Amino acid sequence: MQVSKVKINSIKTNPKNPRLIKDDKFKKLVKSIQEFPQMLELRPIVVDENNIVLGGNMRLKACIEVGLKEVFIVKADDLTEQQKDEFIVKDNVGFGEWDWDILANEWDTEKLQDWGLNLPIDLSVNTSEDLTREVDNNYSRKIEAPTYNVTGKKPEITELYNVDKYEKLLNDIEYKHDIPEDIKKFLIVASSRHIVFNYANIAEFYAHANKETQELMEDSALVIIDFNKAIENGFVKLSEEIANQYLEDYEE
């Protein structure tokens, strides 16, 4: 496809563009165009036969911000409407991932940030032990348990949760479809995910409750008093696994 240079006001932004760059990231994009305008010819804006942008909406916006009068484009005038939509999405999808070790050892991290790359941690930290310390510094593991004091009227039990969607699903599973009994049991269990809990009211109810009820609510992880106990009961097990995986990714 041939790259051509056209008046910037002849190009139209795409209202279907799902990708936005805001605030500081947009400022960095504007700065990158000012400092390295040759990039625009090396990576032209892609438009359809009506000069509507398929790839490069934010670059066009940044070019307008810079005050450019002309931009480089490539015209894709032989795509179907479905192909255009597919291109818009795929052009904004990052299929790969960064090799942080190479970035840390071969690149200037300050420049990387100036160029718009978000760094999850300080890449000057090299060892796994230091990475762990860096994560701990950025994301404190110090957690203070909340206190539950009576602040208002004790809520009714019916104010603690909503089962409207759950009951509708149960009705549909029981009467609308002819399915095997084992599948029906599974779907009934799965539908409980749609029970909605009002945790603000649950906390108030807990503050009014007797000791036996409070202990059962703690065991169900409806409220958290002891974080170690909450981990034991599985309430925050997932977040702990995510944190461990986060560290493992940087150790590989």
Position 148 in a domain: no
Q: Do 237 and 179 belong together in one domain?
A: yes
Distances (CA, A) of 154 to 205, 211, 215: 6, 15, 18
Position 49 in a domain: yes
At residue 10, the pLDDT reads: 95
Q: Do 81 and 117 belong together in one domain?
A: no
Domain count, the chain: 3
Position 151 in a domain: no
Position 146 in a domain: no
Position 196 in a domain: yes
Position 147 in a domain: no
Q: Do 205 and 235 belong together in one domain?
A: yes
Angle at 116 between CA 114 and CA 118, to 5 degrees: 105
List pLDDT tens digits, range 176-185.
Answer: 778 888 898 9
Position 150 in a domain: no
pTM for the full predicted model: 0.45
Position 53 in a domain: yes
Q: Cβ(100)–Cβ(123) under 8 Å?
A: yes
Distances (CA, A) of 204 to 70, 149, 154, 192, 200: 62, 7, 6, 23, 6
At residue 110, the pLDDT reads: 77
Question: d(Cα 43, Cα 73) in Å, to the nearest integer?
Answer: 9
Q: Give the residue ranges of the chain where pLDDT is below 70.
A: 94-98, 100, 118-147, 225-252
Question: d(Cα 223, Cα 146) in Å, to the nearest integer?
Answer: 9
Q: Which of 102, 96, 101, 99 has the alpha carbon at shortest distance from 131?
A: 101
**Residue 66's domain spans which residues?**
3-91
At residue 121, the pLDDT reads: 55
